[in-house]
Structure formats: C-alpha cells, structure tokens
Amino acid sequence: MKKILMLALCASAALASPLLAQARPEETARLRDAALTDTLAWDITEALTTEIGPRKAGSEAEARARDWAVTRLKGLGFANVRIELFDVPYWERGEASAEITAPYPQSLTLTALGNSAATPAKGLKAELIGFDSLAALEGADPAAIRGKIVFVTHRMAATQDGSHYGPVGQIRRIGPSIASKKGAVAILIRSIGTDAHRTPHTGSQDWKDGANPIPALALANPDADQLERVLKRGKPVTIALRVTAKMASKRPSGNVIAEVPGRDPTLPIVVVGGHLDSWDLGTGAIDDATGVAITTAAAKRIMDATQPLRTIRVVWFGSEEIGLFGGADYRERHGQEKHHFLAESDFGADKVWRFQTSVSDAALPAMKPIAAALAPLGIVQGGKNGDASGSDISEIQKLGVPVLALSQDGTRYFDLHHTPDDTLDKVDPVQLRQNVAAWTAMLSVAANDPTDYGPVPPRK
C-alpha cells in the first residue's frame, strides 16, 4: 500500500500541472470572456495619458506618474505597492531646427535622438553627404565625410511582427557613432518609422567606443523624402542646423511594483508589466500606457476572482526608453528571487495574434493549456520555444528566467512609435479589450500552474 501510495503520489506529481491546469479551463474561459468587456485598461490608459501625459525617463513628469501609479494601484486593491528608485542619466532634448540653405532654401522637420550633442549656440552649417544604407555609411571613406553632415536614409517596412525594427533600427543605434568617428559634424537619419507624417521618431542611441558626441537627429519621413529628392538633383546641398540638446546631471527614476499575493508564497512568482516612462514627444499611449494598463487590468481580474496559486507581481518599469534602466534595476534587486516566468506588454494594443514561449523543454506540455485558452481569441502559438522576450524583462531574462509573450499586431506600431503622434486616439478600445482577455487567460492558467517553467539557460 505504501508502495502503491508512493506510485500514486509520483503519478500525481508528474501529472500535477496538466491536471490542475486542465481543471481550470471553464474558469479561465469565463474570466477571459468577461475581460472582453473590460473598462479598466482603457481607464488607466486614458487617465495616465491625460493626467500625466508625456513622462520622460528621469523627468519630474515621470516622478508624478510614479506617485499617480501608486495611488491608482493601491486604489485597485493590489498589495505591497511601492516604488523602487534608481538614478538615470538625464539628457535634455532642448530645441532643434534645420534648414536647407542651398540649393533650395527651406526648413526641415526633425527631432534630436537621445544623447544628441548640441551645435554651437549660433548653429552650424555644412555640406550634406547622403547614404542610402548603414552599410554604405560604414563603407565610406572618412575623407569624404570629414567636416560634413551625414544623411542616412533607408526604407522600413510595416510588418505584423515588427521584425524590421531590429535591423533598420541599427541606423539610429550605431549610425551616429560611426558618422562621428569618420569625422562628420552632425548626422541626420530618416526616422525609424513607417508613417508619412511630419512627426519625426526620436529614440535612444549611445556614443560607442569613445565616439565624440555630435548632433544626431531624425528627420520626419516626408523630410527625408525631400532631402533625397534634393540630393538627386546633383548640386551641393548645404544644411544649417541648430540644436540645444545637452546632458544634465543624473536624476531619479523608478519602478512601481504591486502584487496579488498567491496562495503559496513559497512558489516562484509571476511577473507581468510594461513601462511607465515614455518619450517626451507624445503622451506615450501605445508606448507604453497600454502595456501597464493591459497587464494591470488582467492581474486585477485574476485578483478579483479566486486567489491565484502563485503571487503575481505587476511591474510598471521606469526609464525603459533611454536604455532599460528599470529592467536592470529590477534584475539587480530581484534577480535572486525565484520567478515562475515574466511577461511584458510593450508593443501597442492592437490585437494579440501570437503566443510565444521561452521555457524549458519539460515545460512545453504546460504551454498547451495556455495556448488552448488563447485560441478562441484568434491567437496562435508561434515561433520556436526560446523566441519569447520583452524589453525591460530582457535584463532579468539574461539570468535564465522563463518568459512568455503575447505579440500584438505591429503593422501600424511604427507609424506612431516615439513620435508626437503616440496619443490616446490611436488606441482602439475593442482591440485593447482583446489584449486584456488574452493576458487574463494566460494568467489564469499560468499563475495557477504548479509546474516549473524553467530552468532555461542564461542569455547574453
């Protein structure tokens, strides 16, 4: 009998996850479908973008947003609501203007990239040299560039999975350093974006390998078109630039954390969230008010149903845009805690179409009930195990922590990303609710699943 009991216990342990998970499909379906009428995610998105608006990393507005978040999260009934502060470098955008002075005088619309240097106070004027790719800039003779303003253009395609952002975004991330090292006095890039509006896309870049900071700016796409046409006429092109951007002293930023305590506090916890900071040009609606709103609304729905098995920690990361500082601080403080998995929403709020995983092979069967719960929302399991990641959570993921991901349709994301146009009107309330339903379904299964999703190998 003892032996039989042991066998039964072993069988029970082996099957625990699927059995338990499969015991919840009705509850999960109920919670998921109820979430399709969610109003909380909209309320959070509307209120954060209206009452705070832009909330640049390290700014006073981001500090107000943290306080706002604490009040809001406490009001919603979350436990252990707190701020974890850290310091970040602070770059001031200042003002930027540019004009073609020859051969066809006219002004251009642009915005500084993160960490851009200023021009001299009176501005600078120099001849323009154009490149149609980062490779062309990389291959160029420094003698042709020295003393000139570099212009790098390119084409970014709108894709469902945003897959062009990685490679095309390199123009922004490393183009300025390359131009500087070759002796350029400034660099203008075509915005890393897919729209055709006079709303340039800012974004982060660092001065690499000791590159001397120079003015680095993104032209709105119609202005990049214009500059291409002007260059094609074959006459020397002169540009006058004036930029007042500057690095300032460090400022406080922080993560806001809230929890839904689980029934078994000894089990590894679930972390979900998005980032609270935004670029300063828009009000950070799709990037990333909706991310914190969706994940918070889903966690709230789980909290208000039955107490979950595992603790769910909701993190509103700070200072994502300027270099994942919130994610790094979270890793530093919480890297030794046991995490069941992490998941981040930071790709707008259009319809979730794909579920991805980065879990152990042994945990793959446990993904099936999640996929099954998501399927009625039109979500497919896609990619290969190991593809799931996230922006802030990529920092802790390096330590070897499982990650799940729900991919939004990114077809129009890069029309808006990092532009003044990232405003509330761009959020579709119907698709937003589908997001909440997807996250609710995923949490309903996964936060109640005793199966380990790890270990997964550390990443670089």
Active site residues: 320
Judged by beta carbon, residue 92 or residue 225, the one nearer a copy of itself is 225
10 is an interface residue for a copy of itself by CB under 8 A: no
Task: Output the 3-class SS for the chain.
Answer: CHHHHHHHHHHHHHHHHHHHHHCCHHHHHHHHHHHCCCCHHHHHHHHHHHHHCCCCCCCHHHHHHHHHHHHHHHHCCCEEEEEEEEEEEEEECCCEEEEEEECCCEEECEEECCCCCCCCCCCEEEEEEEECCHHHHHCCCHHHHCCCEEEECCCCCCCCCCCCHHHHHHHHHHHHHHHHHCCCCEEEEECCCCCCCCCCCCCCCCCCCCCCCCCEEEECHHHHHHHHHHHHCCCCCEEEEEECCEEEEEEEEEEEEEEECCCCCCCCEEEEEEECCCCCCCCCHHHHHHHHHHHHHHHHHHHHCCCCCCCEEEEEECCCCCCCHHHHHHHHHHCCCCEEEEEECCCCCCCEEEEEEECCHHHHHHHHHHHHHHHHHCCEECCCCCCCCCCCHHHHHCCCCCEEEEEECCCCHHHHCCCCCCCHHHCCHHHHHHHHHHHHHHHHHHCCCCCCCCCCCCCC
Q: Which residues, 363 to 422, sit near a copy of itself by CB under 8 A?
A: 419-421
- For a copy of itself, which residue of 229, 250, 263, 333 counts as binding (CB under 8 A)? 229
What is the nearest approach in angstroms of a copy of itself to the Cβ of residue 47?
A: 9
Which is closer to a copy of itself, CB of 369 or CB of 420?
A: 420
Among 226, 238, 385, 431, which residue sits at the site for a copy of itself (rule: CB under 8 A)? 226
Per-residue interface string for the shown chain with a copy of itself, residues 20-59, x marking contact by CB under 8 A: --------------------------x--xxxxxx-----
The residue (of 226 and 389) whose beta carbon lies closer to a copy of itself is: 226
Among 187, 230, 276, 436, binds a copy of itself (CB under 8 A): 230
CB of 431 to a copy of itself, least distance (A): 16
Distance in Å, CB of 350 to a copy of itself, minimum: 15
Total of residues contacting a copy of itself (CB under 8 A): 34
Among the listed residues 58, 282, 348, 454, the single contact to a copy of itself using CB under 8 A: 282
Residues 77, 105, 167, 376: which binds a copy of itself (CB under 8 A)?
105
Range in contact with a copy of itself (rule: CB under 8 A) among 99-107, 181-189, 363-371, 429-437 = 99-107
Binding site for a copy of itself (CB under 8 A): 46, 49-54, 61, 103-107, 109, 196-199, 221-222, 225-226, 229-230, 233, 282-283, 419-421, 423-426
